Amino acid sequence: MLMKATAIANSNIALVKYWGKRNSDLILPYNSSISMTLDSLNTKTTVEFNKEFSDNEVIINGKTVEGEEKARVVHHLDLLQEFVTEKVFAKVKSESNFPKKAGLASSASGFAALTLAGIKALDQNLTTKELSILSRRGSGSASRSVLGGFVEWNKGSLPDGSDSHAIQIEKEDHWPELSMIVTIISTEEKKVSSRVGMSQTVKTSPFYPAWLDTIESDVEKMKKAISQKDFVLLGQIAENNALKMHATMHTTVPPIIYWESGSLTIMKEVITLREEGKECYFTMDAGPQVKILCLEDDLEVIKSRVNKLDVVRDIMICHPGKQTSLTDDHLF
């Protein structure tokens, strides 16, 4: 039996954000979230379990990782091996086509790929729901990357987290015109991880309860916008939701400011473009990159305008992408 498998997972960007855990061990969120799985930002991961290995080995983007980063992967491998009787060491090799820990949801695609590859290497067959729950245990947003297109991560209410998983709202072919321009401003790893940041926000931001109070309405409107392909509604809710999340970050003590000066340059350009009649909206995550939402017809004009800004180091164009899947193209 070959205890080796490879999976490819797409990253996803939330349109209604996830920020804050009600249970940090099981990674259960305070609020439901909605995301778009992206076709262009992906992670490929090969996992091999082998009795002959004398230790775990984790290689991410060509570098053997140690310390906390390795521990997090090994902890997840332990979780996957709860399905089998005997635990063995593993070799994991993972490659992303975009910078990690820079607000591009590398942990989402990373843990979704790790989960599917690991489970397959253990020769287990799980439902999508089970894969989403398992991926969630590695990184909350990974629960959403298991599915393609437009996805809701229902926060659930059960203490064991068995109802906290992703559900597909619409497939990727529902709205192929929906486009996201991911601007890369900085590839530096963020100073405050999402994990630490959200924990501090929950504890200290006076706006956190008010943020949670707005989620149900945002989720309902976003679902409606997606199913009816109402781009203006989708953009308005996504931009406002992102600004609300960042407002809870800014009012954390001490403040968490993921925005860089270049982020603001792009945000203002988006607002200017909109004033000029080009429908586009921004969203941002736990990092400085600005993601611009627009429709296919406006993509080239907006892209060329944004490309002229000095602060933009790179641009990636994304559309709704596929679910996490297996491949025979192993990395080792």
Question: Under the rule (CB under 8 A), what is the footprint of a copy of itself?
Answer: 206-207, 209-211, 213-214, 236, 239-240, 243-244, 246-248, 250-251, 253, 255, 257, 259-265, 267-268, 271, 311
Q: What is the DSSP string of 221-272?
A: HHHHHHHTT-HHHHHHHHHHHHHHHHHHHHTSSS------HHHHHHHHHHHH
- How near is the Cβ of 102 to a copy of itself at its closest, in Å? 16
Q: Quick one: which H or E segment has residue 216? A: helix 208-227
By beta-carbon proximity to a copy of itself, the closer residue of 89 and 207 is 207
In sequence order, the 6+-apart residues with CB closer than 8 A to the CB of 273 are 280, 302, 305
CB of residue 290 to a copy of itself, shortest distance in Å: 12
User: What's the min distance (Å) between Cβ of 227 and a copy of itself?
Assistant: 23
State the minimum distance, in angstroms, from the CB of residue 221 to a copy of itself: 12
Our CB check for a copy of itself shows the closer of 200 and 251 to be: 251
Q: Is there a contact between 125 and 83 (Cβ–Cβ < 8 Å)?
A: no
249: Cα within 13 Å, side-chain hemisphere? 24
Q: How far is the CB of 213 from a copy of itself (least distance, A)?
A: 7
Nearer to a copy of itself, 200 or 236 (CB): 236
32: tokens are 């439901």
3-state secondary structure string across 102-147: CCCCHHHHHHHHHHHHHHHHCCCCCCHHHHHHHHHHHCCCHHHHCC
Q: Nearer to a copy of itself by C-beta: 213 or 300?
A: 213
- Nearer to a copy of itself by C-beta: 163 or 216? 216
**Closest to 246 (Cα-Cα) out of 26, 38, 14:** 14
Q: Under a CB-based contact definition with an 8 Å cutoff, are residues 76 and 138 in contact?
A: yes
Pick 74 or 247: Cβ nearer a copy of itself: 247
In the complex, the smallest distance separating the C-beta of residue 276 from a copy of itself, rounded to whole angstroms, is 15
